[in-house]
Structure 1
Amino acid sequence: MPHKIIRKLTDNSLSRDLYPLGAGYYKHAVGHRMERLQHDDHLLIYCLEGKGKIRVNQKNIAVNSGDLVALPRGAAHQYASSQNFPWTIYWCHFDGELADDFVNHLQIPLHKPVIHLGLHSNLVGEFEALLEARHSSYHLNAFINAANQLRQILTHVALLQPLVRSQDADSFDLEKVHSLMQAHIHEQLNIDTLASSVNLSKFHFIKRYKDATGTTPINHFIQLKIERACHLLDISTRTIAEVAFMVGYDDAYYFSRIFKKVMGISPTQYRKLQVGAWSYKSFKQDSSTR
């Protein structure tokens, strides 16, 4: 990226926290290789096809389709595309006042800066949107948009990582657990049933689940129920008691308490909010006084 644009991004309050220094897309990059003894920014590489390798801390690490490489500043490194199966990659060098925080948020260890995210169409689309700035004729607004697209990419990667960790863990299929929750959204579901679905004890299941998602399985199940309840309140004229029953609560009063704990407002207030009889400003004020 032109130095003039980088200076403007550094000075702009909408982009100074995080901005790209350069980004690109290399298709079947035969002979692509790089060595940096001095690395003073951050680098992302997302491999879509083919293979490559990276050397960091005197260790060679294979890079395959679906892998993401995250190299923080200060990490001397070498990398190269495979001669027989050259990689196709997106790449982005970036910096900013909060760049270190965004990289630390990924929690990718320096001794193993390659994680297998898999191929995600949304993530590919975000990299494509980042690269749209190339066609902007150097209009600053396009590069501010690119800077915030980079923020989207990094936070999206952080969101995908718990799923990756759960897939790597033996005997723990997070998708299976969530599918079971969805199938029983209209009733109650206990921890023992969820744990047995993935062949774990209750204790180890709760620990694995919280490590992978940051919350407990029961809290997530309640969240799914309330999301379903919101949908039913949006699309129907069913009573609160009927909606409660449809998401597994026989007691409408207890359901309303759970709903308010999650949403910050009661089911009645939520319905008024959706038809304009209650304002978002009231919602904000009511939530702040809880």
Structure 2
Amino acid sequence: MSTPSSWPLPPESTRFVLPRKMVSQLAEHPLSAQLYPLGIGYYQLARGHAMRREQHDDFLLIYCLEGSGRVAFGPKQKRRIIRAGDVLVLPRGTPHHYWTDQKDPWSIYWIHFDGSHCQDFIDQLDLEPSSPLLSLGIHSRLVADFEALLDTRQARHHLAAYLHSANQLRQLMTHIALLRPLARRQQEDTLDLEKIHSLMQARLHEQLDVETLANTVSLSKYHFIKKYKALTGTTPINHFIQLKIERACHLLDVTNKGIKEIAWAVGYEDAYYFSRMFRKIMGISPSQYRAIRLGRSSYTG
């Protein structure tokens, strides 16, 4: 692991470095070799905390809960401000220097990690090329993910517990990737996705065109579609169809209504067309989907 910080640890903070023997086992085990923790910690109001590494031989993630700090990174030592709600991601080989603000000291979770697929998990976070920071905001569930990892310090030398922590790290990394587009949406002040999606939910039983949706947020159809796709990765109509099919699945699960009735309930007068759209989204027909619920078919059959 990269050299740990020598910052003196006060009673309310935690630092846990995994035993070398356990790290070796995690690096070789098929359930953890792709991604596993090396060290985990929580520093509360860490006045005076700073770290400089010219050689960085693992991966580091820092989640700032309060206060602020600075980071200088890369060969040119570019600088960025770290604020509450920011995640700092420093891949292997990135020289860096980070430090807390003296007047407004940060509270941070941090984790050093390694594994054969670390870079794949980093790539999934979709970092901006010019910055190692993600502005996610404060999320209680993400805090819970870090706390669960910190519980590893109670594991002592039980491999099963450390394998569990390696997979909790997977959960944490994929959770951050899930929160990433949500944070982008919250930062986008010209497109109220919540308003758009609420309208879609209210109109599931009928048809809804792009122009109506665009008018809701006072945009032209062209700019609306462009902004919506940039934020969600899909078109508004495709998302509306997805919502309709999700509703249809729910009705197939909890009611005994016929296919025609369900088609009508989600805005399709033509049951045959509804079945085509259902198969396009789900890969099976509405009847096959219901057969799974009734135990007459398997998930993969």
Alignment partner of 1:24 is 2:41: yes
Same amino acid, percent of matched pairs = 57
* Conserved 8 A contact 1:171-1:200: no
Which residue identity lines up with residue 31 of structure 1 in the other structure?
A: G
- Runs of 5+ consecutive residues of structure 2 not aligned to the other structure: 1-17
Amino acid at match of 1:173: D
The answer for the alignment partner of 2:272 in structure 1 is 253
| Alignment-mate amino acid for residue 12 of structure 1 | H
Contact 1:234 1:271 in 2 (8 A): yes
Q: CA deviation at 1:208?
A: 2.0
1:174-205 deviation per Cα after TM superposition (whole angstroms, max 9, x unaligned)? 22222222222222111112222223222222
Residue 69 (structure 2) aligns with: 52
Do residues 169 (structure 1) and 169 (structure 2) align? no
Q: How many residues align?
A: 282
> Are 1:149 and 2:137 matched, yes or no?
no
Q: Equivalent residue of 1:131, what SS?
A: helix
- CA distance in structure 2 between the partners assigned to 1:169 and 1:31 by the alignment: 35
Q: Distance in 1 between matches of 2:193 and 2:217?
A: 9
CA distance in 1, matches of 2:114, 2:194: 35
Alignment correspondent of 1:74: 93
Separation (CA, whole Å) in 1 of partners of 2:283 and 2:215: 33
Contact 1:17/1:99 (CA < 8 Å) preserved in 2? yes
Aligned-partner SS, 1:21:
strand
1:163 Cα offset (Å): 2.2
Q: C-alpha distance in 1, partners of 2:231/2:19?
A: 40
AA aligned opposite 1:58: Q
Inter-partner Cα distance in structure 2 for 1:206 and 1:17: 38
Distance in 2 separating the partners of 1:80 and 1:39: 16
Residue segments in structure 1 that go unaligned for 5+ positions in a row: 286-290
Partner of 1:129: 148
Distance 1:122 1:198 in 2: 31
Asked if structure 2 preserves the Cα contact closer than 8 Å seen for 1:71 and 1:110, the reply is: no
Partner of 1:40: 57
The Cα shift of 1:120 comes to 1.5
Q: For residue 244 of structure 1, what is the aligned residue in structure 2? A: 263
CA distance in 2, matches of 1:55, 1:31: 16
Tell me if the contact between 1:171 and 1:199 (Cα under 8 Å) persists in the aligned partners.
Answer: no
Amino acid at match of 1:251: D
Q: How far 1:232 sits from its partner (Å)?
A: 1.4
- Are residues 1:13 and 2:12 paired? no
> Partners of 1:197 and 1:124 in 2: how far apart?
35
1:201-240 matched pairs, under 5 angstroms: 201-240=220-259
Give runs of aligned pairs for residues 189-200 of structure 1, distance below 5 A. Answer: 189-200=208-219
> What TM-score do the two structures reach when normalised by structure 1?
0.91
Structure-1 separation of matches of 2:109 and 2:255: 45
Which residue does 1:111 correspond to in 2?
130
Q: Aligned partner of 1:264: which letter?
A: G
What does the per-residue CA deviation read over 1:256-290, in whole Å, with 9 as the maximum and x for residues that have no partner? 1111111111111211211212222xxx24xxxxx
RMSD: 1.6
Counterpart CA distance in 1 for 2:237 and 2:162 is 43
In 1, Cα distance between equivalents of 2:149 and 2:221: 43
Letter in 1 for 2:205: H
Counterpart residue number, 1:288: none
Deviation string, structure 1 residues 223-249 (Cα, Å, up to 9, x no partner): 111111111111112222221111111
Residue 168 of structure 1 deviates from its aligned partner by 2.9
